[in-house]
Amino acid sequence: LTTYSYNISNQKVDCIFDATINQLENYAPANAVVIITDHHIAALYSQQLSAYRVITFVAGESNKTQSTVDQIIQQLILMEIDREALIVGVGGGVVTDIVGFVASIYKRGLRFGFIPTTILAMVDAAIGGKNGVNVGLYKNMVGTIVQPSFILFDYTFLQTLPEAEWRNGFAEIIKHACIRDAEMFSNLQQHQLIDYIKDAKLLTDIIQKNVAIKLEIVAQDTLEKKERLFLNFGHTVGHAIENSAQLKHGYAVAIGMAFACQLSEKIIDFNPNETAKVIQLLKQYQLPTTADLDVDMIINLVQADKKRTGKEIRFVLLSAIGDASIQAIPIETIRAQLIEISS
């Protein structure tokens, strides 16, 4: 088994890259495991999950709410789950965000791990310990930062992943390339999504690389004071349009990254040819780069962003492909740029 263990805020996180769900036995006996998953995964993989107790909730970002958390906690209480249990989230980013949150608050915290089943969860959501729920249109407004004990990568789950979800996850991979890794950016330019879907070696390589990028950033700055802010590239505007325009997270982030590149040209002389390269790469992976924007609604949501202080927001810009920079930008500058690109 290819296992990497990382230390984040004094907590050990194992990443097992060629795992199957059976490796759970290294962490707890089957009768101590409680799997929490969404109803799609539960239906598709009932066989694989049959050895464990399973709690299911309805899939979808709109269910990433406190009410879902409360329902899961009710079931944990009914099942008399105690602190010796191991909670395992099996699913995409919605599952990992909710399950990490539940496990970090139920009885003041139980041991937990993840088996991510989407690209997005494998390279992003399952890593870094951010857990939580949305409050209305406000994304991830309530939550905790607690690390999972382990993340098992079992690629067989990806055989049923719809192509739209592959694209969704590649938006975060392109994000990592933009902020940290020019070489990965050019590797991505040389391939199509279908190459990664078909070629297991290519896929494991890029997943491991992205996990390493994210873990390294999180290990440097778990509490998001500095380096971790880079991971918000494309996300300030992305989050604001995601819920209001009913877009998948990665699609909204793709539009947000295109916007951030254009803003980078204005503020820190990012080369317009590089903006063109980022936009071209997003299109190559069949991601959107523009949308009809409701500027007032976006500005309202941006003002509620956790990265805002007063009339400014800490915004992630690019100085070059592979190199990010944080600048405090007046909300009014963002409004002007949004108006410019939407007219």
Task: Tell me 306's DSSP state.
Answer: T
Exposed, middle or buried, 66 (CB in 10 Å: 0-12/13-18/19+)? Answer: middle
- 41 touching ligand ADP, by CB under 6 A: yes
Point out which span in 155-163, 213-221, 234-242, 334-342 binds ligand ADP (CB under 6 A). Answer: 155-163
Find the shortest distance in angstroms from Cβ 166 to ligand ADP.
10
User: What 3-state class would DSSP assign to 87?
Assistant: strand
Would you give the binding string for ligand ADP spanning residues 122-141, x where CB under 6 A is met?
A: ---x----------------
Which one of residues 23, 56, 68, 118 is an interface residue with ligand ADP (CB under 6 A)? Answer: 118
Nearer to ligand ADP, 61 or 274 (CB): 61
User: Interface residues for ligand ADP in 220-279 (CB under 6 A)?
Assistant: 249
Which one of residues 23, 56, 68, 117 is an interface residue with ligand ADP (CB under 6 A)? Answer: 117
User: What 3-state class would DSSP assign to 8?
Assistant: strand
Point out which span in 116-124, 206-214, 237-245, 284-292 binds ligand ADP (CB under 6 A). Answer: 116-124
Find the shortest distance in angstroms from Cβ 190 to ligand ADP.
25
Point out which span in 87-95, 178-186, 239-247, 294-302 binds ligand ADP (CB under 6 A). Answer: 87-95
d(CA 324, CA 258): 14
- 154 touching ligand ADP, by CB under 6 A: no
User: Interface residues for ligand ADP in 160-219 (CB under 6 A)?
Assistant: 160-161, 165, 168
Ordered DSSP codes for 231-290: GGTTHHHHHHHHHHTT--HHHHHHHHHHHHHHHHHHHH---HHHHHHHHHHHHHTT----
Structure tokens at 252: 């909204």
Place of tokens 């993840």: 114
Nearer to ligand ADP, 93 or 129 (CB): 93
For ligand ADP, how many residues bind (rule: CB under 6 A)? Answer: 23
d(CA 99, CA 112): 8
Ordered DSSP codes for 88-130: EEEESHHHHHHHHHHHHHGGG--EEEEEE-SHHIIIIITSS-E
> What angle (nearest 5°) sits at the alpha carbon of residue 99, between those of residues 45 and 50?
25
User: Interface residues for ligand ADP in 50-79 (CB under 6 A)?
Assistant: 59, 61
CA distances for 67 relative to 11, 95, 251, angstroms: 29, 14, 26
Would you give the binding string for ligand ADP spanning residues 290-329, x where CB under 6 A is met?
A: ----------------------------------------
Helix axes 331-342 and 249-268, enclosed angle (nearest 10): 110
d(CA 122, CA 116): 5
Which one of residues 14, 38, 224, 274 is an interface residue with ligand ADP (CB under 6 A)? Answer: 38
Find the shortest distance in angstroms from Cβ 80 to ligand ADP.
28
Which one of residues 8, 72, 103, 120 is an interface residue with ligand ADP (CB under 6 A)? Answer: 120
Task: Tell me 30's DSSP state.
Answer: G
Which one of residues 89, 93, 129, 148 is an interface residue with ligand ADP (CB under 6 A)? Answer: 93
Find the shortest distance in angstroms from Cβ 130 to ligand ADP.
13
By the criterion CB under 6 A, which residues form the site for ligand ADP?
38, 40-41, 44, 59, 61, 91-95, 117-118, 120-121, 125, 157-158, 160-161, 165, 168, 249
